[in-house]
Chain A
Amino acid sequence: MENQELIWLEQARCGDQSAFGRLVGAYQGPVYNLAYRMLGNASEAEDAAQETFVRMYTKLHTYQPERKLASWVLAIASHYCIDRLRRRRLVWLSLDEEPFVATLPTHQQGPEETLLRKEVRDEVQKLVERLAPSYRIPLILRYWYDLSYEEIAEVMGLSVQAIKSRLHRARLQVAAHAPTGAGSGVAAAAAPSQAGVR
């Protein structure tokens, strides 16, 4: 798939708009998800994700083939979102905004499952939003994109050691702000596995 995307990228570099459209199609989900997790608002996330692709288009000539394309795209998105958070002023959220419903993958779910999933999403999003942007990014890349330390370091332009440190601090902060959810349905559904050290 990456090879096909590199072909599209090369075609887009030569001015092929439809090839760039295919690249947008391939990465719109991951970029939108990253923007939403970072910014926590559907309309702002859409705006940021679209702007990410505009920036990507203007930087096509700077892409180096030895770099993983996904890392490059996510790096553009994450840097843009961090900039945006820094510039963020007071934002008034529309009271009737329901960011998740319109953006869910469209497979059928029962009402209970939908409610449970929404509960998990809302709770997780609140936890993520409590983190400073520099801690948010590694956590998002680790959990939603399953990137290795090395890949996160490449996206963020930091050392692997710095990523380990940020993930550690992010987890400390998340735990400090997390409700003690032992009694909640979500927590019960997400019972800890005994994998790892225990």
Chain B
Amino acid sequence: MHIEYTRLMSLALDKETTPAQATDLRRHLDACPECAALWQEWQVIDARLARAPMLAAPDGFAAGVQARLAAAAQRRRQSYWLGSGLLIAWGVALAALLALVGMAVWWGLQHPLEVSVTFAILLSNLSRLLCTMETAVGVINGAAFLVGGGLLVSMTGALALLWVWVMSNTRHWLRPAMWEVR
């Protein structure tokens, strides 16, 4: 078998050979019994493939598509409401937590370091909660995970900023000598 001529055979079956290629192939097939046998076989297979009919879709196919589209729309609506609810809930929780931290630090009830550690633990627990939610409601296109994850990142950033702000405004923190006016 000569691979360069099987390429031409493939083109010939698709009627894509140039006249020169067709002549070249014909001469080769006359001279090479192995390629000529393969060409015969390819023509048989080509005819079989060409005769295979186009299958029709089963009854009720279009109705099935409509049902899927309706189900997909329903899932999108659920995702939207779940996402919106989570967003609002997290927003309220974030505002409440920040207010709580601010008050605790402002009134000197807690040391900023203790507050930071407490919130690190809280964030860790929230992450676990989100993972559980994702497992439980994973069917809702991961909306819980996406919204929750985004809020978690925002919350972490906000808390980091708060932590920096609190430290920069707290005397006798870590390096008290820095704050002494000389």
**Which A residues contact B (CB, under 8 angstroms)?**
17, 20-21, 24-25, 28-33, 36, 42, 46, 49-51, 53-54, 57-58, 100, 102-106, 117, 120-121, 123-125, 127, 139, 142-144, 149, 164, 167-168, 171-172, 174-175, 178, 180-182, 186-187, 189-193, 196-198
Contacts and interface: CB of A to CB of B under 8 A. Distances in A.
Interface in B1-36: 6-7, 9-17, 22, 25-26, 29
Contacts, number: 144
A174 B53 CA distance: 18
A124 B44 CA distance: 12
Given A28-B61, A46-B64, A120 B13 contact: no
27 contacts: A17-B69, A20-B69, A25-B62, A28-B57, A29-B55, A31-B57, A32-B57, A33-B55, A46-B64, A54-B68, A58-B72, A117-B53, A120-B48, A120-B51, A125-B52, A127-B45, A143-B50, A143-B52, A144-B52, A164-B7, A164-B16, A167-B14, A168-B7, A171-B6, A175-B41, A175-B45, A196-B22
B51 A192 contact: no
Nearest to A42: B58
B6 to A, nearest CB: 6
Contact of A32 (B39, B50, B55): B55
Contact of B53 (A105, A139, A171): A105
Nearest to B41: A175
A189 B55 CA distance: 20
Interface of B: 6-7, 9-17, 22, 25-26, 29, 38-58, 61-62, 64-66, 68-69, 72
Nearest to A123: B48
Given A190-B48, A196-B13, 6 more contacts: A32-B61, A54-B72, A103-B55, A168-B10, A172-B6, A190-B47
Given A50-B61, A193-B47, A196-B15, A100 B42 contact: no
Contacts of A198: 26, 29, 39
Contacts of A187: 44, 48
